[in-house]
A and B are shown apart, each in its own frame.
Chain A
Amino acid sequence: MALKQKLKSLMGGKQDSLQSPLEETTSDFLTVGAAVMKNKIEKKPVNPHEEQEIIDGIEDKYYNNESFDTSLYELQKLPEVLDLEKIAEDAAKLKTQLQAVSKRVSELILQNHPAYAAELQRVMDLQRTLRSAGAVCQNGRRQLAHARESFTIASLGLLANYRKRQQLIGLLKSLRTIKTLQRTDLRLREIMEEEDYCGAIQLCLECQKAASTFRHYKCISELSSKLQDTLEMIEEQLDVALSKTCAGFDEAYYQKVQRAYRQLGKTQYMVFFGANLQKRQYADLCKNITIEAFTPCLVDLCKALWEIMKSYYKTIKWHEAHDQESANSESEDASDNIEASFNRRYVNQKLEYGRGRIWQDVQQKVKMFVLATDLSGFKLDDFIHVLDIINRMIEIGEEFCGSKSEALQDSLKQQSLNYFKTHHQSRLDELRMFLEHEAWELCPVKSNFNILQLMDHEDGYGDSDSDSDVPDELKKDYIDELTGEAHSYKLGRKRSTARSSRSHRQNPLITNTTLNVLRVMGKYLQMISFLKPIAFDVISCMSQLFDYYLFTIYSFFGSDSPSSNDRTVNTRLYTTLQRILDNLIATPAADKVPAATMSPLINLNSSSTLYGLAERVVATESLMFLAKQLEYLHPYLEELIPSNKKAFLNQFYSQSFMEFHKKLLELDKRVPLPKAVTNLIWEQCIRHANRMFVEGYASSKKCSNEGRALMQLDFQQFLTKVDQIAEIRPIPEREYVEAYIKAYYLPEHELESWVHDHKEYSNKQLLALVSSVGHLGRKSRQKLISMVEEMDKGRRS
């Protein structure tokens, strides 16, 4: 029973210990087997056959169910009444059965143990293999997971990189384009240098367009602003190029420029010539021109300005021609046409307007230049050259835009006046020097000598080769003017020769100074033709020369005349002299000339030289000659001066000249002024002597009859002497003396009427006569005296 229990518990235990059932059962079996074996050994070995029978004897029930409770079964089988033997028999049977089974089992176990061990070993191996497989698997899983992870990121990166690459390629392309764009800047500059404005603009515009597509780049904004700059620069360059056409018009070039402008969309673009004449420093520059540089500068300036005008003119022409063309070609496109024609009109209008403006500018420039320098130090030829250039410019202006060129005329006049005033001043000074050196000797010239011959001389001298450096065009004109002058002189000379052959039979009496005056006048006349605007001033200066000469001669020779009082010197002469003194001489001021002093060589007080008779004659005659020459020039001068100033000329001729001409006759009386013929000298001499007779006789307060007779005798004596030496018949003023002497003898009543009639005697002489007459009563003498005094009053008033 204990065994059964033990087995049961063992089996129960077997059921309990699930942890290692195999091992435990194995060990259980082993122990069971061992026990069985012990049992067998204890009993007697039973043959296999018996054993089989025993085993077969084992109820089937033992095999039915695994969970069969053997103990329970055996217990149940026990009958109600227990038979110990039977039980013991059953127990022994069961014991033998058990022994057989155990033996069998043990046998089986022993039989199967190596297989079991081998199997176990294999199981162990398998387990081990499985374990390693698990590890491999785990590892594999891990690896796979890692692999899976790695693979995704890489591919994403790959994709991203690929995209980036694509982008970068795009960028590179853009950058290349940009680089090219940037390089075009250089190219543009090159093109500009090649003056291919069209190409440059086109390129530039293309670049701009390209640049605008790359707007999103930062550098592009710079580039495009740079391009804008470049475009502006091109425009500027174009302006410069356009302004270049100002100085030298080149059709192809201009066309290029114009096309370029059109490309810029500036069809109304105008040529701003005027603006191209440089401004600011010009005035200062003008002031710094030296005298020597003046003329070349002026020529250059005028040439430059002329070039500009020429270019402008060509521009206009170009536009005209071009308009024609474009009008023909554009006639199809109506809308364009309207705009184009509008533009054309605009341009033409502006060009037309610009013409005047440019000339105005040119004028201003030249004027500023001309007026900035004091030309008074110039030599006449150089000055004339300058005038000529300006005149030429005026002509150009006239042709260019029909302008009267007031500004130029004005500057011309101003400079001429200034120049001439200075010139005249030095000529007056020279005249004074001449007068102070003048010996009043006759200067031998041909009988038909006149002012024009002298002028021809001056002509030949002044202009021989003075104009060698004048531009050809100017030169041509200059010469034309000259020949024109010469022509008129020749005409004049023909007239004069006819005239002089009539009036001057002998050589004219002139002095070296007269010649100089004539020379200067000739020069002045010549100058008039160049100084037309100031012709009037020139002529007034000529009159000054004459005035000065007249005044000097009067002060040299006339002022010492004993009879020089306002009665013998006619009032008009007196006022004339006074006027000259006031206007021309007077105090030494800037524009006046000090009075000349006579050369100390001349002695007017020596009786041996007839008190300088010859000199006086020559002086006065020379003055006469001068006067005649001037009179002869009168019509010519009249032509020269503007009509509104003719009054002056007439005034001059009437005031100091024509009347002076008459006055000379009176001068004759003060100063012996014969017509260079001895007759005339003698006539004047005698006349003068006769006056002296009367004067002398009048100075005696008392006179006896005898005295009177002696007077008569003296006079007779004088007359006979005169008769012998002079051939003058009748003796001039003989009656003048005789009547005066004879008046003494007149009866009272006749004397009264005689005094009344003979106004040629001076007051003093008449008074002396009256008081010297012996036979007069006191009363009648008083009456006569008062009558004479009244007459005198009447004469004075």
Chain B
Amino acid sequence: MSESYEFLFKFLVIGSAGSGKSCILHQFIENKFKQDSNHTIGVEFGSKVVNVGGKAVKLQIWDTAGQERFRSVTRSYYRGAAGALLVYDITSRETYNALTNWLTDARTLASPNIVIVLVGNKKDLEAEREVTFMEASRFAQENELMFLETSALTGENVEETFLKCARCILTKIEAGELDPERMGSGIQYGDALRRMHRQEKLQPQTTRPDCAC
């Protein structure tokens, strides 16, 4: 789809199986709830252009499988992600407990300064809640994460989550904390900007070291 955009951010959606990652993504992209969702096999992909602070930003989102058996497959998609949604299920302490592992994975495999939003999904199932907002909020604070509770069913906070993450990245770029030119930053310039930068710097930022082909 030939939408023009100024930036392209690579996003990850990670978290334990069944926490609703794919549903969040589906809700974000299609604006509807994915009823009979199966476990994700491997990694799926989705993209959407959003408006962040007046700038068109294309989000390239990798929706990873949460099941342990796909770990080896999904790991390779972490690399160079600019942002991540770390999803747990507020009705399942188990998914909450696994957060630390996911966080370590994200920070080591993607990039240490990856922008992560902690997402407590299934907010609509208040009655079955096992993890309180306060508790998760504290965890987020300790680990320097942003935190939101969402409902992929109702769509509450779903878009906000992605926007929040993108906004944070954009702020960091503007503050110079993140360099889109750096390899594996998970950020690319969109068509218009890229052309501009190409003229400034002879080396296009998309080049990667030649692999072993």
- Chain A contact residues, CB within 8 Å of chain B: 376-377, 379, 381, 422, 426, 430, 433-434, 437-439, 441-445, 454, 457, 460-461, 464-466, 511-512, 515-516, 519, 555-556, 559-560, 597-605, 612
Contacts and interface: CB of A to CB of B under 8 A. Distances in A.
Interface string B17-29: 0000000001000
Contact of B72 (A422, A426, A441): A441
Nearest to A465: B32
Nearest to A603: B212
Nearest to A446: B41
B213 A600 contact: no
Instruction: Count chain B CB atoms within 10 A of each CB in A515, A516, A597, A600 and give the residue with the most.
Output: A600
A546 B152 CA distance: 34
Nearest to B62: A437
B69 interface: yes
Interface string B41-63: 11111000000000000001010
A443 B73 contact: yes
19 contacts: A376-B1, A433-B45, A437-B79, A439-B73, A441-B73, A466-B32, A511-B73, A512-B42, A512-B73, A512-B77, A516-B45, A519-B44, A559-B213, A560-B212, A597-B208, A600-B208, A602-B211, A602-B212, A612-B212
B213 A461 contact: no
B70 A444 contact: yes
B62 to A, nearest CB: 8
Given A433-B45, A602-B212, A460 B36 contact: yes
B182 to A, nearest CB: 14
Contacts of B112: none
Interface residues of B, number: 33
Contacts of B203: none
Contacts of B62: 437
A598 B211 contact: yes
B135 interface: no
Contacts of B30: 379, 381
B1 A377 contact: yes
Contacts of B45: 430, 433-434, 516
Contacts of A555: 213
A792 B45 CA distance: 51
B2 interface: yes
Contacts of B43: 434, 437, 512, 516
Contacts of A601: 76, 79
A516 B32 CA distance: 22
A422 B1 contact: yes
Given A433-B60, A464-B36, A443 B42 contact: yes
A381 B29 CA distance: 12
Contacts of A445: 41
B69 A444 contact: yes
Contacts of B75: 439, 441
B41 A515 contact: yes
B34 interface: yes
Nearest to A468: B32
B79 A515 contact: no
Given A422-B1, A422-B2, A464 B212 contact: no
A744 to B, nearest CB: 37
Contacts of B199: none
A422 B1 CA distance: 6
Interface of B: 1-3, 26, 30, 32, 34-38, 41-45, 60, 62, 69-70, 72-77, 79, 208-213
A565 to B, nearest CB: 16
A439 B109 CA distance: 13
A466 B209 CA distance: 44
A604 B212 contact: yes
A434 B46 CA distance: 12
Instruction: Count chain B CB atoms within 10 A of each CB in A559, A598, A612 and give the residue with the most.
Output: A598
Nearest to B67: A444
B38 A464 contact: no
Contact of B3 (A377, A515, A600): A377
A464 B208 CA distance: 41
B189 to A, nearest CB: 16
Given A439-B72, A441-B76, A512-B42, A464 B213 contact: no
Contacts of B35: 460, 464-465
A376 B3 CA distance: 10
Given A377-B3, A430-B45, A560-B212, 10 more contacts: A434-B43, A437-B76, A439-B75, A439-B76, A441-B75, A442-B73, A460-B36, A512-B73, A512-B74, A556-B211
A681 B90 CA distance: 46
Contacts of B208: 597, 600
A519 B40 CA distance: 12
B171 to A, nearest CB: 26
A104 B14 CA distance: 191
A559 B3 CA distance: 36
B27 to A, nearest CB: 12
A519 B69 CA distance: 20
Contacts of A441: 72-73, 75-76
Nearest to B69: A444
B37 A599 contact: no
A381 B208 CA distance: 36
A116 B75 CA distance: 182
Contacts of B74: 512
A442 B72 contact: yes
Contact of A515 (B42, B77, B209): B42
A131 B82 CA distance: 151
Nearest to A558: B213
A599 B1 contact: no
A434 B47 CA distance: 13
A17 B44 CA distance: 171
B33 to A, nearest CB: 8
A560 B213 contact: yes
B26 A461 contact: yes
Which 8 A-B pairs rank lowest in CB-CB distance, beginning with the nearest? A439-B76, A512-B42, A598-B211, A604-B212, A441-B72, A444-B69, A443-B42, A464-B35
Nearest to B43: A512
B2 A376 contact: yes
B212 A605 contact: yes
B198 to A, nearest CB: 13
B211 A461 contact: no
Given A426-B1, A439-B73, A599 B32 contact: no
A600 B41 contact: no
Given A439-B73, A439-B76, A598 B32 contact: no
B118 to A, nearest CB: 24
Contacts of A434: 43, 45
Contact of B211 (A516, A519, A599): A599
A779 B135 CA distance: 91
B204 to A, nearest CB: 12
B16 to A, nearest CB: 17
B70 A556 contact: no
Nearest to B3: A377
A599 B79 contact: yes
Given A437-B79, A461-B26, A443 B70 contact: yes
A600 B76 CA distance: 10
Instruction: Count chain B CB atoms within 10 A of each CB in A444, A512, A555 and give the residue with the most.
Output: A512
A575 to B, nearest CB: 20
A676 to B, nearest CB: 15
Contacts of A444: 69-70, 73
A597 B211 CA distance: 7
A106 to B, nearest CB: 166
Given A430-B45, A445-B41, A515-B42, A599 B70 contact: no
Instruction: Count chain A CB atoms within 10 A of each CB in B69, B72, B211 and give the residue with the most.
Output: B211
A560 B75 CA distance: 25
Nearest to A422: B1
Nearest to A457: B38
Nearest to B22: A461
Nearest to B31: A379
A515 B212 CA distance: 24
A466 B74 CA distance: 30
